[in-house]
Amino acid sequence: MGQSGGCEGAVARHLGQLAATLERWEEAAGHFERALELHTRLGARPLLAHTQHEYAAALLERGRHEDRERAGALLDAALATAEALGMTVLADRIRGAGGQRPRAWVFRREGEYWTIAFEGSRFRLKDERGLAYIACLLARPNEQIHVLELTAAGPPAGSPRARSVDAGVTSRRLGLGDAGELLDAQAKAAYRSRLADLQAELDEARDWGDPERAEHLAVEIDALTRELIRAVGLRGRDRRAASPAERARISATKAIKRASTKIAAHDTRLGDHLRATIRTGAFCSYAPGLGEAHTWETRAAAER
């Protein structure tokens, strides 16, 4: 009976590999979990180590951020068994490129400072908005986050309540409409009335031979005319003030660029990484690619 169970376990392992090759991730997970259970129950440690390694590889290939912690634990267990049993080929494979436990890089606020660790370097920066925006993006890799969500005061980055905004929601729900006319009808009427008065005073100054007063009035007329043109635009159409989303986009882009520059001053490699992977615009994202063997710690242990 024990031998039969071992065979069933081996079959489940191979079915997991096959499902992963076909990118049937849920099926693969089910097969690997069954294989892990059977190999553990039978005490088949070499088979267990191989299954842990193959399952971890499938999780990383699937590319979900939430899979990385589980994959790391599986790789740690597989490496410990391989080293204990002298399975050098498997141990070397796990230690090799793409087979290591996901590295925990750090981008975490601690009071008024941010602790940042990347590829062996570690430094701290004074808190500013751009760092908070970057942390939010790092906590949710390969997600499109609307700039209004990114800049809004809300739950900590990566918390269960933080959710990305569906790109298909309406502009009204997101508040993407503009801020209205730059000048209302009453203000425009007042501008035009003042311009008429100034023009009359300018004509009078010229008639009386008062060039100094005429020059002063001409400057004021020119300033008011430019302001009215800016508000009304061509052909008398009212121009609209910038929308909240556009203002947020400009603000977030500047803040992220400023923070990235400060980061690069401490670590050029991290600065290059962020420039290559962070996208800003109406929707912002951190796009390192799927299945990368690292993750970011963006919250303190007490928050996790």
pLDDT digits (tens, 9 = 90+) for 21-36: 888 889 989 999 999 9
Instruction: Estimate to the nearest angstrom the gap between the alpha carbon of 154 and the chain centroid.
Output: 15
Instruction: Estimate to the nearest angstrom the gap between the alpha carbon of 275 and the chain centroid.
Output: 12
Q: What is the pLDDT confidence band of residue 137, given thresholds at 50, 70 and 90?
A: very high
How does DSSP classify residue 287? -
The predicted model gives 204-217 an average pLDDT of 87
Query: CATH number of the domain at 2-95, out of 3.30.470.20, 1.25.40.10, 1.10.3720.10, 3.60.10.10?
Result: 1.25.40.10
Query: At what angle are helices 45-62 and 88-95 packed, to 10 degrees?
Result: 20
Whole-number pLDDT of residue 233: 52
Whole-number pLDDT of residue 63: 67
Whole-number pLDDT of residue 123: 92
Which of 94-103, 220-229, 262-271 is the least confident region? 94-103
Residue located via tokens 């049937």: 24
Q: Which comes out higher in pLDDT, residue 109 or 179?
A: 109
Report the mean per-residue pLDDT for the chain.
76
* Identity at 182, one-letter amino acid code: L
The predicted model gives 152-158 an average pLDDT of 45
pTM: 0.45
Sequence-distant (6+) residues with CB within 8 A of 41 are: 5
- Percentage of the chain surpassing pLDDT 70? 71
Whole-number pLDDT of residue 107: 93
Whole-number pLDDT of residue 211: 86
How does DSSP classify residue 242? P
The predicted model gives 263-281 an average pLDDT of 92
Asked if 274 and 133 touch (Cβ cutoff 8 Å), the reply is no
Q: Which comes out higher in pLDDT, residue 55 or 175?
A: 55
* DSSP codes of every residue in 108-124: EEETTEEEEEETTEEEE
Whole-number pLDDT of residue 260: 96
Phi, psi of 278, rounded to the nearest 5 degrees: -95, 130
The predicted model gives 103-113 an average pLDDT of 84
- CA 255, 261, 265, 266: dihedral to nearest 10 degrees? 50
pLDDT in tens, 60-93: 777 676 777 788 888 888 888 888 888 888 888 8
